[in-house]
Structure 1
Amino acid sequence: MLFIDLILQGLIQGGVYALIAIGLTMVYGLLRILHIAHAGLYALGGYCALLITEASGSFSLGIVGSMIIVGIVGMAVYRLFYQPILDKPPVVALIVSIGLFIGMEELYRIFFGANGLSYTVAPLQGTIEFYGIFIRQSEIISLILALVLISSLSLFTKYTRIGIAWRATVTDPIMAESFGVDVLKVRYLNFFIGSMMAAAAGSMVGLTNNLVEPTMGSIPSYKALAIIVLGGLGNVRGTLIAALAIGLAESFGTIYLGDFFDRDSIAFAFLIIVLMIKPKGLFTKE
């Protein structure tokens, strides 16, 4: 039963990492920008979900509202901060993104306090028994939500016109534009979807931990970067597999290596070992 429990915990954690990292790799794949501020949107998702839930009494409304609001904010981030500097060297966008992330953390600290916010009555805090394994309801919902969103994204990019246009733009933006693809619209959509997924992850982590704090995006930002490098920069499928691999490595590592390393150290140790074997990542797009 311990093995099954570790698998489930790894998949749950990996699902959260995937929601964060897929949005990050979508931006890199389209614009070649390391969107560090993505982690700030993840934290914003947690705050929005909590505030809407507290006001309405419905966590379902909280998470949907959070995804929509953060998706719109993500588009605004692109328009205000990235679009004006697309012709600049990539390091300029990286510096802007880091500065934006730091600024977002400070704004959260000013408006919501340094200690963060908690749910007055947190929903989905019960447990469910599964063949002798007790799993929190919030973790089950988190895994289901990750599966639904990632599956929906896959279907969207394969079978819808705008999704196919997105894939074409990632492959060759100049050629896509010559065939009539509205590249600007694709970029806005890219930030909207990626930010929505980050908001969903932030909402579920905030609920599971019953805490949303200004710096909650810091560690996930490092792990998301590690995941997209491991999966191959710009490769969505590789990012998903890498996220699940990191989640499982953490889950098993905390049991068998917990006396020597903490959870975060295990994740980065796993990354280093894999990159020593595959320096360009597991699924690098040549």
Structure 2
Amino acid sequence: MINGLQIGSIYAVIALGYTMVYGIIKLINFAHGEVMMMGAYFAFLAATAGMPIWAVFLISMVGSAVMGMVIERVAYKPLREAPRISALITAIGMSLFLQNLALVVFKADPKVMPRIIPSNPIMIGSLQISNITIITFIISVVFMILLTLFISKTKPGKAMRAVSEDKEAATLMGINANSTITLTFAIGSALASLGGILYALAYTQVAPTMGVLPGLKAFVAAVLGGIGIIPGAMIGGFILGFVETLAKAYISGRWADAIVFGILILVLSVKPTGILGKNVREKV
């Protein structure tokens, strides 16, 4: 259950980026996992340069935020009025581009993530819990709370909510929709980077393909909780983390991924809107 809490925290943070972007422009950004991977590489470079832990997190998250804004402006903005399938194919293309870019720049061999957080296991009776597990959970929850407060209390957050409700009406009310969408990509990419750092610290390796499965599982978490709904992404991430670790412990490690993606099929069959999603009538 503790292991599930750790990996669930990581999935939840990554899923927040998915759900933010979908909530604003109804785009499933399949390059999100690769932004997570690049964020882990940014952290690796900063850590190997001997920077303090706060600088490692800051450099990685800022670098990924800038990358997210560039991707949005170059790849997605020209397709705003195009059919959704065009943007979806572009997202898959961007995912493959970032993977291959990492292969060229960083080579195929996995890099060992420096231990920027000293390993001091915490003993509770006969139970030994890694301090990285606890730190991962705390960091994830803190950033989830900060994001929720940002969306509900700040002016840019309210602009995001307005654009997600009705982009044209928000524009008529004086909101710059383009800037709001770019900011959404920046925040989502920074959260993906945070997930990449926590994932690299947990599994100690950074590789060009490391973002594929966590990215897909975070997407499943977002759908499970209700894509476009921030609390839903958190709930979906934790549920998925628990299901995956319990499947590995009590069924089989080989079946764990199949069970996770089987949940996606089940949710889409029974309640396509997710746990917190609601059916919305649309006038035609």
Question: TM (normalized to structure 2)?
Answer: 0.92
- Superposed, which structure 2 residues align to 1:203-242 within 5 Å? 203-242=197-236
Deviation at 1:230, TM superposition (A): 1.7
2:274 to 262, 281, 285: 281
1:196 aligned residue: 190
**Is the 2:229–2:277 contact (alpha carbons within 8 Å) kept by the matching residues of 1?**
yes
Q: Secondary structure at the match of 1:129?
A: strand
Question: Structure 1 residues 110 and 83, CA, compared in 2 at 3 Å: closer, same or farther?
Answer: same
2:259 aligned residue: 266
Deviation at 1:123, TM superposition (A): 3.4
Deviation at 1:183, TM superposition (A): 1.2
Q: Secondary structure at the match of 1:134?
A: strand
Which runs of 5 or more structure 2 residues have no equivalent in the other structure? none
Deviation at 1:121, TM superposition (A): 5.0
**Is the 1:249–1:270 contact (alpha carbons within 8 Å) kept by the matching residues of 2?**
no
Counterpart check, 1:63 vs 2:57: yes
Counterpart check, 1:48 vs 2:42: yes
2:173 aligned residue: 179
1:153 to 147, 150, 157: 147
Q: Secondary structure at the match of 1:279?
A: coil
Deviation at 1:110, TM superposition (A): 1.2
- Superposed, which structure 2 residues align to 1:91-130 within 5 Å? 91-120=85-114, 123-130=117-124
CA distance in 2, matches of 1:225, 1:82: 19
CA distance in 1, matches of 2:115, 2:274: 43
**Is the 2:44–2:114 contact (alpha carbons within 8 Å) kept by the matching residues of 1?**
no
Question: Structure 1 residues 96 and 258, CA, compared in 2 at 3 Å: closer, same or farther?
Answer: same
Deviation at 1:69, TM superposition (A): 0.8
Counterpart check, 1:26 vs 2:20: yes
Deviation at 1:258, TM superposition (A): 2.3
Which runs of 5 or more structure 1 residues have no equivalent in the other structure? 1-5
Deviation at 1:161, TM superposition (A): 1.3
CA deviation string 1:85-104 (max 9, x = no partner): 11111111111111111111
CA distance in 2, matches of 1:82, 1:57: 34
1:3 aligned residue: none
Aligned-pair identity (%): 32
Opposite residue 266 of structure 2, the aligned amino acid is I
Deviation at 1:187, TM superposition (A): 0.8
CA deviation string 1:147-183 (max 9, x = no partner): 1110000011111111111111111111111111121
CA deviation string 1:101-126 (max 9, x = no partner): 11111111111111121135553333
CA deviation string 1:8-38 (max 9, x = no partner): 2222211100111110111111111110111
CA distance in 2, matches of 1:240, 1:123: 25
Question: Structure 1 residues 218 and 258, CA, compared in 2 at 3 Å: closer, same or farther?
Answer: same
2:162 aligned residue: 168
CA RMSD in angstroms, aligned pairs only: 1.7
